[in-house]
A and B are shown apart, each in its own frame.
Chain A
């Protein structure tokens, strides 16, 4: 414990010394990380936490395969190894990101007590539902090793373990082997006192595919940095981000795509809806390396501003080294709710308040539809619909079978 405290103390020192934004492109565009008081590690009530988990499982209709909390963990999978931090020592600090890499890495390397290694079998097809439910400031570190020719569908739901302020953070890496497919769905629905930090690195080997869907709904502050690399020939990265903010929620979202080899595909599609006084900075950057014949890359950012005080900075960017037959495009557009679309909806008898909700939920559904896992898609959709109906977030409500996706499936 003494070693751990010293490690934690050093990490926080480094954390406070590092600048909020290291990338020179974005030195004017970042939101400083807001952290609650970290001097004392809080200890939540286990009984209360278990009740909360039971409630989330009931409302989402998902039986989680893995549950992680700073005071509780549960696993019913055999193919999983959990390593304690004390056994790793400095090794953890080098495992995924070095603490010097950025502020988030410094914080997470200093607070993670474990690194969770998930490796599936070759030619295997598996679905994995993970719940992260935090009561204090412990970070989680997860390393996915997706074996050759396998398919892994991972859904990660982040919730708050109590009504207190906390930090929900995860540092993770996705290694996707040859001909393997990974779908990773990250859904943040923490309460309004939670700071959510997400730092990830993903690499797809030859013919490998990464589909990454991020739904940022809850929390008072979200900072996300993702590096996704189509590393092997014919590999692909398809990332979708959906951000829904209101009140004083802040989001600083950074996604870096790389086409490293020939015939690779990278694609980032981001949608933001902001209400109240919320702010969002979107940094979508794509790098197409040299000698990547046949590579293609797209970065599209779209925003809908609902209130006058909400603010979006959309900064799509690209760097393309010389290569034959490469296609790369980027775009950004932000606007209020389309008046003609609104008129169309109200002309069908629907009142304006409901029409606005329909427009917003449609915009959001467009991004949520990229989630292939039907249950996770239902959960994401339900969280958003509940928010539109009740103007609250961080809440899980029972999923009703009459919503958009169910109706669509019946056709």
Chain B
């Protein structure tokens, strides 16, 4: 899937947060957006997914050449876009398993055999070192920060998107968990030629991934672009230079 963002301006409650972003992610490419807090990274991610409170005042979002500005979030998900949330919501009473089954059914529009579905969930949970007992519990309810992030990746595996946006997949993860998640995402991206946009503050997770493009975002715009070498520059000089 190819994602193209052209001169995108986004407002939230009358305040402009994204101020003219241009970005093109071709099929199978891995891009990273880095930037300080409040630079508009999460707003950009949520806008691509179609958050109703975010108003596009100018510009467009194209998927495989088709404008998706007016599509609802569920319609974007059906096209194959997936957002891993920075702060996944907790919904007590909504079984993770039931939710995943419903979401998978909504996206693929064909029923999945329970046995096949369970087997996929169990295998992916094992790969992610995610405790099996969590899949029988309510969605993210009482989960640790790391468990929530792993559960998001589990959802990504089940929903098999063509474009995944990972918003701070590294926050809340310890060193071992970070390695597991990063390697898992990296291999899925390569195997399925999934387009990937990773949003992060820190370079740690990128030690285990192979992004081709790095973008630095500040005050609602992309101020610098380059290859993996840009990460080392940011590590040394920070975002202010």
Q: Which A residues lie at the B interface, using CB under 8 A?
A: 338-341, 343-352, 354-355, 358-359, 361-367, 369, 404, 407-408, 410-411
A253 to chain B, nearest CB (A): 20
Give Cα distance in the complex from A407 to B46, angstroms.
31
Could you mark each residue 191-225 of chain B with 1 if its beta carbon is under 8 Å from any beta carbon of chain A, else 0?
00000000000000000000000000000000000
Using Cβ atoms and an 8 Å threshold, which residues of chain B touch A410?
114, 118
Nearest CB in chain B to that of A355: its residue: B74
Enumerate B39-56 residues with CB–CB distance to A below 8 Å.
46, 49-53
Using Cβ atoms and an 8 Å threshold, which residues of chain B touch A349?
74, 77-78, 103, 106-107, 159
Residue B65, interface by CB 8 Å: no
Give Cα distance in the complex from A404 to B135, angstroms.
13
**Would you list 23 pairs from A and B whose C-beta atoms are within 8 A, ordered by A residue?**
A338-B89, A339-B53, A340-B89, A341-B89, A347-B85, A348-B77, A348-B106, A350-B102, A351-B72, A352-B72, A359-B91, A359-B94, A361-B93, A362-B91, A362-B93, A365-B94, A366-B93, A369-B93, A407-B95, A407-B114, A411-B97, A411-B118, A411-B136
Using Cβ atoms and an 8 Å threshold, which residues of chain A touch B51?
343
Give Cα distance in the complex from A410 to B122, angstroms.
13
Residue B172, interface by CB 8 Å: no
Give Cα distance in the complex from A354 to B73, angstroms.
13
A358/B136 contact (C-beta < 8 A), A348-B106, A410-B114 known: no
Give Cα distance in the complex from A1 to B102, angstroms.
59
Using Cβ atoms and an 8 Å threshold, which residues of chain B touch A340?
89
Residue B37, interface by CB 8 Å: no
Is A344 in contact with B85, judged by CB distance below 8 angstroms?
yes
Give Cα distance in the complex from A134 to B23, angstroms.
67
Interface SS of chain B:
helix
Could you mark each residue 86-129 of chain B with 1 if its beta carbon is under 8 Å from any beta carbon of chain A, else 0?
00110111110111011100110000001000100000000000
B44 to chain A, nearest CB (A): 15
A382 to chain B, nearest CB (A): 14
Give Cα distance in the complex from A387 to B102, angstroms.
19
Using Cβ atoms and an 8 Å threshold, which residues of chain A touch B138?
362, 366
Using Cβ atoms and an 8 Å threshold, which residues of chain B touch A362?
91-94, 138-139
Known: A345-B99, A346-B77, A350-B106. 8 other contacts (CB 8 A): A338-B89, A346-B72, A346-B73, A348-B99, A349-B103, A351-B74, A362-B94, A369-B93
Is B91 in contact with A404, judged by CB distance below 8 angstroms?
no
Is A346 in contact with B89, judged by CB distance below 8 angstroms?
no
Interface SS of chain A:
helix
Is A344 in contact with B88, judged by CB distance below 8 angstroms?
yes
Is A350 in contact with B103, judged by CB distance below 8 angstroms?
yes
Residue B83, interface by CB 8 Å: yes
Using Cβ atoms and an 8 Å threshold, which residues of chain B touch A348?
74, 77, 99, 103, 106-107, 155, 159
Give Cα distance in the complex from A366 to B99, angstroms.
15
B105 to chain A, nearest CB (A): 9
B122 to chain A, nearest CB (A): 10
Give Cα distance in the complex from A367 to B73, angstroms.
29
Is A364 in contact with B74, judged by CB distance below 8 angstroms?
no
Using Cβ atoms and an 8 Å threshold, which residues of chain A touch B95?
404, 407-408
A347/B93 contact (C-beta < 8 A), A358-B99, A404-B98, A410-B114 known: no
Partner of A411, one of B46, B106, B135: B135
Give Cα distance in the complex from A367 to B155, angstroms.
26
Q: Which of B52, B88, B106, B155 has the most CB of A within 10 A?
A: B106
Using Cβ atoms and an 8 Å threshold, which residues of chain A touch B98?
404, 407-408
The 6 A-B residue pairs with the shortest CB-CB distance, nearest first, are A366-B93, A362-B94, A411-B136, A362-B93, A349-B77, A365-B93
Partner of B93, one of A344, A351, A364: A364
Partner of A351, one of B50, B76, B106, B118: B106
A53 to chain B, nearest CB (A): 31
B118 to chain A, nearest CB (A): 8
Partner of A407, one of B52, B83, B101: B101
A103 to chain B, nearest CB (A): 35
Is B97 in contact with A408, judged by CB distance below 8 angstroms?
yes
Give Cα distance in the complex from A338 to B89, angstroms.
10
Partner of A341, one of B74, B83, B91, B159: B91
Q: Which of A348, A352, A364, A369 has the most CB of B within 10 A?
A: A348
Using Cβ atoms and an 8 Å threshold, which residues of chain A touch B91?
341, 344-345, 359, 362
B95 to chain A, nearest CB (A): 5
Is B73 in contact with A343, judged by CB distance below 8 angstroms?
yes
Using Cβ atoms and an 8 Å threshold, which residues of chain A touch B93?
361-367, 369
A338 to chain B, nearest CB (A): 7
Nearest CB in chain B to that of A343: its residue: B51
Nearest CB in chain B to that of A403: its residue: B98
Give Cα distance in the complex from A408 to B133, angstroms.
11
Using Cβ atoms and an 8 Å threshold, which residues of chain B touch A345?
91, 99
Give Cα distance in the complex from A350 to B78, angstroms.
9
Using Cβ atoms and an 8 Å threshold, which residues of chain A touch B77?
346-349
Is B83 in contact with A347, judged by CB distance below 8 angstroms?
yes
A404 to chain B, nearest CB (A): 5
Using Cβ atoms and an 8 Å threshold, which residues of chain B touch A354?
102, 106
B89 to chain A, nearest CB (A): 5
Give Cα distance in the complex from A316 to B92, angstroms.
22
B90 to chain A, nearest CB (A): 9
Give Cα distance in the complex from A346 to B107, angstroms.
11
Give Cα distance in the complex from A50 to B136, angstroms.
40
Give Cα distance in the complex from A339 to B51, angstroms.
10
Using Cβ atoms and an 8 Å threshold, which residues of chain A touch B82?
347
B114 to chain A, nearest CB (A): 7
Nearest CB in chain A to that of B102: its residue: A350
Nearest CB in chain B to that of A358: its residue: B94
Is B94 in contact with A347, judged by CB distance below 8 angstroms?
no
A302 to chain B, nearest CB (A): 10
